[in-house]
A and B are shown apart, each in its own frame.
Chain A
Amino acid sequence: MKVLIRRPRREVELPGRRRVRDVLKELQINPETVIVVRGETLLTSDDVVGEEERIEVIPAISGGAR
């Protein structure tokens, strides 16, 4: 599968089918700080991503002067 991480922007390839929570664990991304989408569909941690699919990890945390 292909995983597009938006900040910093990079694409990672992972082998096999995996649950979203396992993808984030593998990439050491805290699930509390991102939203994962497949196309325009929001995915939950138990959704399975197929080997040929592409997902995006959208960062949620921002801010300096608030």
Chain B
Amino acid sequence: MKCSTCQAKAAIEIRRHNAAFCGPCFLAHLERQVQRTIESEKMLAAGERVLVAVSGGKDSLCLWEVLRRLGYETTGLHLDLGIGDYSPEGRKKTEAYAEAHDLPLQVIEVKEETGFSIPELAGRTRRPPCSGCGLSKRYLMNRAALEGGFPVLATGHNLDDVAATLLGNVLHWQVEQLTRMTPVRPASHPRLVKTVKPLIRITEREAVAYCLLRGTDYHEDECPNAAGATLLLYKDIVNQIEAVSPGSKQAFYQEFGKRVRPHLAASETVTLRECEACGQATTGEVCAYCRMMERARQVTVRRGRVTRTVLEVPPA
């Protein structure tokens, strides 16, 4: 197979584009795709400081490397989730990348910040680990961006992520979530930072190829909590369709954005206010994160035959 651009031996085939690329042409192709996404969706303005959420996995390190090469002023943000042997490895890869490229990096230890690691949070709230983890990440990343004075937060969500999420939301007709499925979430409240997903036209397979060809060392292991996660099932289904009908994955997400989302956005009437506990933006009196943390701090005390729930002293 030959490179569609220069006719050298191809390193990767991208069937949905009916193209194949050698290493150098693929790297240029992927960076061009990301730049086009950033420009067409008005994600980043020239000279804007960007906070990049980096787990140490292939997607976030691919994103950081591409933004760095495209000349954006980036700072990394890593959340140490406190998950067994998994979290230290991701942190190590993130810190190594930042050091190698002399880039600023902020690390937040979730346990130190909130009093609980993600597994402890899951056990105490009896929520699925991925649910509490996702909510904590969104909250802590937004807060870090606000406190650091960053106008925009970039995440490594890719085409596989958004297509699988879309499938899940359509299967359950989660209209509210569908309305929020945008490549850019604007700062619709003074306590919300604009968030962008520059990799939405890049598949996970392409992010792996990019890291391998650039020599970017990423954390390859899967989070132990992700085993059996519904999102993985949806990704598997979407990729089974993609294997038989190349281009379906991208068309599914892109056409949703063009044909369906504009109608949903027109009906969106959400009023945001400040959470009474923490001051972050929320639709109710107390935000979902504060409600979850309050539940986590409640402990059940049994004395004889009497059981009661008390609130532990919040962590400093």
Contact = CB atoms under 8 A, between A and B. Distances in A.
A44 B10 contact: yes
B208 A60 contact: yes
Interface string B63-103: 00000000000000000000000000000000000000000
B11 A32 contact: no
Contacts of B133: 64-65
Interface in B185-235: 203-205, 207-209, 212-213, 220, 222-223, 225-226, 229, 231-232, 235
A15 interface: no
Interface residues of B, number: 42
B157 interface: yes
Question: What band does the interface of chain A fall in when counting residues whose beta carbon is under 8 Å from B?
Answer: 20 to 34
A61 B236 contact: yes
B12 A64 contact: no
Interface in A12-66: 30-35, 37, 40-42, 44-47, 58-66
B220 A63 contact: no
21 contacts: A30-B239, A31-B243, A34-B205, A35-B205, A35-B208, A37-B212, A42-B11, A44-B10, A46-B1, A58-B212, A59-B220, A60-B204, A60-B208, A61-B232, A62-B57, A62-B232, A63-B161, A63-B226, A64-B129, A64-B231, A65-B225
